[in-house]
């Protein structure tokens, strides 16, 4: 077999794309009954398969996770020695596969590029529940809503030009809003990728496969970032002929996920500590009076 890139066919759509728990819906074409149907979904470091809502249901018969799960970690965890050392040595539940596959080695950022192989009982629309990893704090991006109020105050100040004192006060209020309050009211977001490459439907056939599908080498269906999972993928598919069709991607393949504002980290810590201290003081006084 010669390596080939399968052509685009079928489609992918999202539901709840702007949340932490988006779902990919993939329309998988029909194949001859003699073929075993699979769907390959490659995951970026910013998202992982959500096993808690993903017990296999028709048309999905089983799910194989290629790579460590590490649900709680942020993107970049594999390059941090402390977090990388905390990887578990065996599966905890059904979605993590068998112990042998879970212990397959990966190093550095390779461990964050994982993939799903879904065994399908039939064609149709396949549900792939995902969860977006919590992003690192970033500089705030002031939203247009947060900028609306100071603009309105400046306009009002111009209309009240006859009252110089009030106009000057409104201008100062607008500047203070923009400088101090807008960052607190804004909701900073950052795009988080939901898929690494277009999903690929694969038919493993002992005889003739789908007429309009291409025979491929399995090295062609994984992007370079996921090439280290070729051996386990090949083992799961077996030695028969593989026919493939690549699903068409929608225009949006990322989710606008809220992130913490790095500029507010210190004030938040100080306010939290002050609140805890005051609550402790108040509780101590109440206990002392009760005694």
Write out the DSSP string of 7-65. Answer: PEEEEEEEESTTSSS-EEEEEEPP--TTEEEEEEEEPPTTEEE-GGG----TTEEEEEE
Instruction: Please tell me the predicted confidence (pLDDT) of residue 148.
Output: 47
Q: Do 35 and 179 lie in a common domain?
A: no
Q: Do 201 and 235 lie in a common domain?
A: yes
Q: Do 126 and 204 lie in a common domain?
A: yes
Q: Do 112 and 211 lie in a common domain?
A: yes
The answer to the question of residue 3 being in a domain is no
Task: Find the domain containing 272 and state its range.
Answer: 261-290
Average pLDDT over residues 281-286: 88
Selected residue with higher pLDDT from 169 and 271:
271
The answer to the question of residue 159 being in a domain is yes
CA 40 to the chain's CA centroid: 17
- Contact at 8 Å (CB) between 122 and 37? yes
Q: Do 61 and 204 lie in a common domain?
A: yes
Q: For a pLDDT cut of 70, what percent of the chain falls above it? A: 64
Q: Do 39 and 113 lie in a common domain?
A: yes
Q: For a pLDDT cut of 90, what percent of the chain falls above it? A: 23
The answer to the question of residue 18 being in a domain is yes
Confidence of residue 86 (pLDDT cuts 50, 70, 90): low
Beta strands 60-66 and 189-193, pairing class: unpaired
Domain-ending residue, one of 185, 208, 241: 185
Domain count, the chain: 3
d(CA 118, CA 130) in angstroms, rounded, equals 14
Tokens of 5: 């890139």
The answer to the question of residue 4 being in a domain is no
Instruction: Please tell me the predicted confidence (pLDDT) of residue 212.
Output: 86
């Amino acid at each position: 077999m010669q390596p080939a890139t399968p052509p685009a066919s079928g489609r992918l759509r999202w539901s709840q794309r702007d949340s932490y728990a988006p779902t990919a819906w993939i329309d998988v074409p029909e194949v001859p009954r003699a073929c075993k149907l699979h769907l390959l979904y490659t995951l970026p470091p910013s998202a992982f398969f959500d096993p808690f809502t993903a017990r296999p249901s028709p048309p999905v018969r089983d799910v194989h996770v290629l790579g460590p799960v590490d649900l709680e970690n942020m993107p970049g965890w594999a390059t941090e020695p402390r977090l990388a050392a905390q990887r578990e040595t065996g599966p905890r539940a059904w979605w993590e596969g068998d112990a042998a596959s879970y212990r397959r080695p990966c190093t550095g950022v390779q461990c964050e590029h994982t993939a799903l192989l879904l065994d399908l009982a039939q064609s149709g629309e396949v549900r792939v529940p995902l969860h977006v990893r919590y992003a690192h704090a970033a500089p705030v991006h002031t939203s247009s809503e947060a900028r609306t109020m100071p603009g309105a105050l400046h306009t009002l100040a111009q209309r009240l030009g006859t009252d110089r004192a009030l106009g000057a006060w409104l201008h100062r209020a607008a500047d203070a809003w923009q400088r101090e309050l807008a960052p607190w009211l804004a909701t900073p977001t950052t795009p988080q990728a939901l898929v690494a490459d277009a999903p690929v439907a694969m038919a493993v056939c002992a005889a003739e496969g789908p007429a309009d599908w291409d025979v491929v080498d399995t090295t062609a269906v994984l992007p370079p970032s996921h090439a280290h999972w070729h051996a386990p993928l090949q083992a799961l598919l077996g030695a028969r002929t593989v026919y493939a069709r690549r699903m068409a991607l929608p225009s949006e393949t990322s989710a606008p996920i809220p992130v913490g504002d790095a500029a507010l980290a210190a004030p938040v810590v100080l306010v939290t500590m002050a609140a805890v201290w005051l609550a402790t003081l108040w509780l101590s006084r109440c206990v002392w009076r009760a005694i």
